[in-house]
Structures are given as C-alpha cells and as structure tokens.
Amino acid sequence: MQVSGSEKKGVAQPVMNVTPLVDVVLVLLIIFMVVTPLLNKQMWLNLPKKDEDAKNEPPPPDADKPVVLTVDEGGVVKINQTVVERGELRERLRRIFAARSDQLLYFDAADEAPYGIAVEVMDIAKMGGAKGIAILTEKPGG
C-alpha cells in the first residue's frame, strides 16, 4: 500500500499478497466439491406404532381382499400370489382398481429383490390406477 506524499526513502512499504489466501480457498473448494457427493443419502420413514389393544377379528367373508403386489428375489411380479408379466401389469391393475371402491395397493418386495425392478413395478402400479401404495413391513399372513 502506498500513500502519495508519505514516501520515505529506504523504508519498505507493506504490500498485500493475496495469492496464498486464494490458493487455500481454492483447495478447500475442491475438497468440498469432491466430498459432497460421497455423503450418505438418507430417507426417513415414520411407521405407525402397532396397536396391541386392537382386537384381531377376522374380516367378514364377503369383504374385498386387499391387492398385494409382490416382487421376489428373481424379479418375478405377483398380484395376490398370481404371477403377472410386467408388460401386462398396468392393464391388469387398471381392471382390478376399476372394480374396487378403494385404490389402495399393498407392496412387498423380497430383501434380495433387484431395487430397479421394485421401483419400476411401483411406477407401473401408480400408472395402473393405484392412488396409494402401502409398503408392507411384515410378511402377509405372518
């Protein structure tokens, strides 16, 4: 920094050098850019508490059975234990939901089921008329 009129001969004038500061900031920027994609992504899931006091009465025999869509380890898709090809899944679900008052679909995927197929099946179910998809946390009937 120099101020005119205050120059003294033989006295060192202070000069601001910002190069090291810029270098450090750029290195930190690069570190954050590399580390950010490696952070774990989390999905929070709030499950309702199990009601222990509820009576476990069987439903009446004429009640509609729920629609359960399952994907097993091999990627085989089933609707209520009936094997369905993925190509005809959308139309089959559309017909099922047209005859029902509720458009609720229960979805269950095996632990070893391919993730991509499970998500694709849920997308097809949404296009097939399912207004809500309930993901099962316990095996049906158990």
**Domains of the chain, CATH where assigned:** 67-135 (3.30.420.270)
Provide, for the chain, the percentages of residues in helix, strand and coil under a 3-state DSSP scheme, each rounded to the nearest 5: 30, 15, 55
| Tens digits of residue pLDDT in 92-124 | 999 988 888 888 999 999 888 888 999 999 999
On the 0-12 / 13-18 / 19+ scale of CB atoms within 10 A, 114 is middle
| Tens digits of residue pLDDT in 129-142 | 888 898 888 776 55
What pLDDT, on the 0 to 100 scale, is given for residue 20? 93
